[in-house]
Amino acid sequence: MSPSHAPIVDRQDALRRWYSTPPGRALLAAVQVHLDRFLPELFGFHVLQLGQVALGEDLLASSRINHRFCMEYRPVEGHVAALPEAWPVLADSLDLVLLMHTLELSDDPHQVMREVERTLLPEGNVIIVGFNPLSAMGLWEMLPGRRGSTPWAQPCYSTGRTREWLSLLGFEVLARAYAGFTPPAGGKGLRERLGIVHGLGGRNLPYLGGAYVILARKRVSTMTPMRPRWRAMRGMVPGGMAKPLCRRRDRE
* Other CB atoms within 10 Å distance of the CB of residue 149: 12
Residue 245: inside a domain = no
- Check whether 104 has a pLDDT greater than 90: yes
State the Cα–Cα distance between residues 69 and 79, nearest whole angstrom. Answer: 7
| pLDDT at position 177 | 94
| pLDDT at position 201 | 47
Residue 236: inside a domain = no
- Check whether 113 has a pLDDT greater than 80: yes
- Check whether 112 has a pLDDT greater than 50: yes
Q: What confidence tier does 236 reach under pLDDT thresholds 50, 70, 90?
A: very low
What are the pLDDT digits (tens) for 1-33?
Answer: 555 567 899 999 999 998 998 888 989 999 999
Q: What confidence tier does 95 reach under pLDDT thresholds 50, 70, 90?
A: very high
Residues making up the chain, counted from first to last: 252
| pLDDT at position 57 | 83
Residue 10: inside a domain = yes
Domain count, the chain: 1
What are the pLDDT digits (tens) for 149-205?
Answer: 677 667 889 999 999 999 999 999 999 999 987 655 555 555 555 555 554 444 556
* Other CB atoms within 10 Å distance of the CB of residue 229: 5
Residue 234: inside a domain = no
Residue 233: inside a domain = no
Residue 244: inside a domain = no
Q: What confidence tier does 242 reach under pLDDT thresholds 50, 70, 90?
A: very low
Residues ≥6 apart with Cβ < 8 Å to 45? 65, 66, 67, 95
Residue 229: inside a domain = no
State the CATH number of the domain containing residue 18.
3.40.50.150
Average pLDDT, the chain: 80
State the Cα–Cα distance between residues 25 and 40, nearest whole angstrom. Answer: 23
Residue 239: inside a domain = no
- Residue 30: in which H helix or E strand, if any? helix 22-38
Residue ranges making up the domain that contains 38 = 3-221
